């Protein structure tokens, strides 16, 4: 997950949510992190500058959810209780996950990966470890996809196909947690929990393999490289990860939810994220004719101010958006107006249309403001370096499916509807292709101190969440296939009836 610049992301909330803002602004002032000095080549691939916590606490509603009352099923107008999915199966899945030998094993998988963190597209040993475990489980797979990625398969080998995905890469962060399984590589750390994601997906593989004769189709397990940088998702898709797959799910650990609590929401969940860099130059002809009157610094400054007008005046205040200018470079000459000024930053939005509109307006505003001061401007959005991430919008039906599977598995009190977060994820690329749902699993436990946000050098997880995470993945996949097969056979019956 890519963490947001929370400072700017909160300003537009102020007028609407005064008390909420006060709480968060305390968090800001006590936050030790600040934007790091940018390297001159503006490497946008890792958002080192934004290591602080996700801006919005996810826990808002704790409704008394019951899995059987009025929720949409994958099978339209069909009472799923008892007839399609039995609670017994949820319990059996949980029982496998909680077997002491399996708990020990899933923790050991996570620890081995944690000790040996590998950055984007370098997940060679991580990938080897996964393949060894899959071999051990007698699960077949395709390798490589996207360099180090794996596409494993459990079930009948026939449709329907449903996918679950885990990301494998670590971050260029020095681990500050002193513990037995601390990262053995200086400057690299699993600070976003992708080690846990891999362990939980392998855990799910083991559960699904044990229940293979119950599967009414095929589960595809995707182990993806390069989520934090390099856009592994896009490359996985290009190399066939979603072949035949009709729906996909993914899970992310969250320090804002207590251990093993599952959280998600329908619709927009994570922001879309893009970067821009503007270059403002004095127009040669005018500069010469008008005695160097084109002031690039003034033009760039006006553009920076006007960009905030897009957020404060054009944007729907109920549709959160952020533009942050994060660097401004006009040299250091105190005597001469520079011929060229560069500035740039990041923008985020939750809705696809809004996100693309924002991109268009950033371009227009900068070019127009430059021309006001007799300058010209070009704006680069790094489209060809894969650094634009669309918003993660959960498909309503897939979200409902996650919710029902989780509620039946961990109980209604352990499922929370969460607020959207300003962070971004490349899982959104899968969601542009097929119906998808993203959800969180809590790893917060004050007793052991797992209270730090992702991308913090102090980040840690409560490993007691791992078995529940594996079981949730497995239940979502098995149940999806089950309900789909019922819906398909009903369609067939319908046809027979009609003809």
Ligand X SMILES: *[C@@H]1O[C@H](CO)[C@@H](O)[C@H](O)[C@H]1NC(C)=O
Nearer to ligand X, 339 or 464 (CB): 464
Residue 71 found at the interface with ligand X (CB under 6 A): no
Query: CB of 467: closest distance to ligand X in angstroms?
Result: 12
Residue 70 found at the interface with ligand X (CB under 6 A): no
Are the beta carbons of 361 and 303 closer than 8 angstroms?
no
Q: Tell how far CA 214 is from the center of its chain.
A: 31
Instruction: Report the alpha-carbon angle 219-221-226, nearest 5.
Output: 155
Q: How many CA atoms lie within 13 A of 424 on its CB side?
A: 34
Q: What's phi and psi for 343, nearest 5 deg?
A: -150, 165
Which of these, 270, 226, 235, 272, lies nearest to 252 by C-alpha position?
270
Residue 159 found at the interface with ligand X (CB under 6 A): no
Q: Between helices 465-498 and 100-115, what is the axis angle to 10°?
A: 110
Residue 464 found at the interface with ligand X (CB under 6 A): yes
Nearer to ligand X, 14 or 63 (CB): 63
- Binding segment for Zn ion among 1-9, 181-189, 203-211, 346-354 (CB under 5 A)? 1-9
Nearer to Zn ion, 1 or 470 (CB): 1
Nearer to ligand X, 192 or 388 (CB): 388
158 binds, among Zn ion, ligand X, none (CB under 5 to 8 A by kind): none
Query: CB of 454: closest distance to Zn ion in angstroms?
Result: 5
DSSP 438-488: EEEEEEEBTTTTB-PPTT-TT----TTHHHHHHHHHHHHHHHHHHHHHHHH
Q: Tell how far CA 482 is from the center of its chain.
A: 27
> Who's near 253: CB < 8 A, 6+ residues apart?
192, 193, 196, 197, 440, 441, 442, 443, 454, 461, 465, 469
1 binds, among Zn ion, ligand X, none (CB under 5 to 8 A by kind): Zn ion
Residue 448 found at the interface with ligand X (CB under 6 A): yes
Are the beta carbons of 179 and 461 closer than 8 angstroms?
no
Which of these, 225, 198, 61, lies nearest to 130 by C-alpha position?
198
> Who's near 180: CB < 8 A, 6+ residues apart?
none
Total binding residues toward Zn ion, as defined by CB under 5 A: 2
Nearer to Zn ion, 193 or 345 (CB): 193
Instruction: Report the alpha-carbon angle 492-155-114, nearest 5.
Output: 140
SS3 8: helix
- Binding segment for ligand X among 93-101, 146-154, 307-315, 442-450 (CB under 6 A)? 442-450
| Window 229-268: contact mask with ligand X (x via CB under 6 A) | -----------------------------xx---------
Query: CB of 383: closest distance to Zn ion in angstroms?
Result: 22
Tokens of 74: 């994958």
Tell which one of 25, 352, 363, 487 touches ligand X (CB under 6 A): 352
Nearer to Zn ion, 1 or 443 (CB): 1
Q: What is the rounded distance in angstroms from the CA atom of residue 2 to the CA atom of residue 388? A: 12
Sign (positive/negative) of CA torsion 281, 285, 291, 293?
negative
Residue 192 found at the interface with Zn ion (CB under 5 A): yes
Residue 86 found at the interface with ligand X (CB under 6 A): no
445 binds, among Zn ion, ligand X, none (CB under 5 to 8 A by kind): ligand X
64 binds, among Zn ion, ligand X, none (CB under 5 to 8 A by kind): ligand X
- Binding segment for Zn ion among 22-30, 135-143, 188-196, 484-492 (CB under 5 A)? 188-196
Q: What is the rounded distance in angstroms from the CA atom of residue 191 to the CA atom of residue 477? A: 27
352 binds, among Zn ion, ligand X, none (CB under 5 to 8 A by kind): ligand X
Nearer to ligand X, 81 or 432 (CB): 432
DSSP code at position 389: B
447 binds, among ligand X, Zn ion, none (CB under 5 to 8 A by kind): ligand X
Residue 445 found at the interface with ligand X (CB under 6 A): yes
Tell which one of 1, 74, 325, 481 touches Zn ion (CB under 5 A): 1
- Binding segment for ligand X among 40-48, 240-248, 320-328, 440-448 (CB under 6 A)? 440-448
Tokens of 24: 């968060």
Q: Which of residues 164-223 bind ligand X (CB under 6 A)?
A: none
> Who's near 382: CB < 8 A, 6+ residues apart?
44, 274, 275, 276, 277, 388
Query: CB of 471: closest distance to Zn ion in angstroms?
Result: 21
Tell which one of 62, 66, 108, 312 touches ligand X (CB under 6 A): 66
Residues lying near ligand X in the complex (CB under 6 A) are found at 64, 66, 258-259, 352, 356, 390, 432, 445, 447-448, 462, 464
């Amino acid at each position: 997950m890519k963490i947001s610049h929370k400072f700017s992301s909160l300003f537009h909330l102020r007028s609407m949510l005064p008390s909420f803002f006060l709480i968060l602004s305390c968090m800001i002032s006590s936050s030790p992190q600040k934007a790091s000095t940018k390297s001159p080549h503006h490497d946008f691939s890792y958002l080192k500058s934004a290591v602080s916590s996700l801006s919005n606490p996810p826990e808002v509603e704790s409704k008394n959810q019951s899995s059987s009352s009025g929720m949409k099923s994958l099978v339209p107008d069909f009472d799923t209780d008892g007839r399609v999915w039995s609670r017994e199966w949820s319990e059996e899945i949980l029982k496998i996950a909680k077997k002491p030998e399996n708990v020990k094993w899933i923790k050991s998988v996570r620890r081995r990966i944690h000790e040996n963190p590998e950055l984007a597209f370098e997940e060679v040993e991580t990938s080897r470890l996964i393949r060894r475990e899959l071999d051990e489980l007698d699960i077949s797979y395709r390798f490589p996809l996207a360099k180090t990625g794996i596409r494993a398969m459990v079930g009948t080998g026939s449709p329907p196909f449903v996918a679950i995905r885990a990301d494998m890469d670590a971050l260029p962060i020095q681990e500050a947690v002193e513990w037995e399984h601390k990262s053995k590589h200086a400057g690299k750390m699993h600070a976003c929990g992708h080690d846990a994601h891999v362990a939980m997906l392998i855990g799910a593989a083991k559960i699904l393999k044990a229940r293979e004769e119950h599967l009414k189709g095929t589960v595809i397990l995707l182990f993806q490289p390069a989520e934090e940088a390099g856009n592994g998702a896009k490359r996985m898709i290009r190399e066939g990860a979603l072949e035949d797959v009709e729906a996909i799910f993914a899970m992310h650990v969250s320090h804002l939810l207590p251990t093993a609590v599952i959280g998600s929401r329908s619709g927009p969940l994570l922001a879309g994220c893009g970067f821009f860099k503007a270059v403002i130059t004095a127009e040669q002809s005018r500069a010469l004719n008008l005695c160097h009157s084109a002031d690039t610094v003034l033009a760039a400054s006006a553009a920076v101010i006007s960009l905030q007008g897009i957020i404060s005046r054009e944007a729907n205040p109920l549709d959160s958006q952020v533009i942050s200018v994060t660097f401004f470079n006009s040299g250091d000459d105190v005597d001469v107006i520079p011929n060229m000024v560069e500035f740039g930053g990041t923008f985020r939005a939750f809705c696809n249309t809004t996100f693309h509109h924002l991109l268009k307006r950033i371009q227009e505003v900068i070019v127009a403001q430059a021309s006001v001061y007799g300058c010209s401007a070009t704006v680069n959005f790094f489209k060809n370096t894969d650094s634009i991430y669309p918003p993660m919008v959960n498909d309503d039906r897939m979200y409902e499916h996650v919710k029902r599977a989780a509620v039946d598995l961990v109980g209604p009190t352990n499922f929370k509807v969460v607020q959207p977060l300003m962070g971004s994820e490349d899982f959104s690329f899968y969601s542009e292709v097929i119906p998808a749902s993203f959800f969180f699993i809590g790893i917060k436990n004050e007793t052991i101190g797992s209270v730090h946000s992702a991308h913090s050098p102090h980040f840690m997880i409560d490993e007691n969440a791992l078995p529940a995470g594996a079981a949730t993945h497995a239940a979502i996949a098995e149940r999806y296939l089950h309900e789909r097969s019922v819906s398909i056979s009903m369609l067939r019956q319908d046809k027979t009836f009609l003809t």
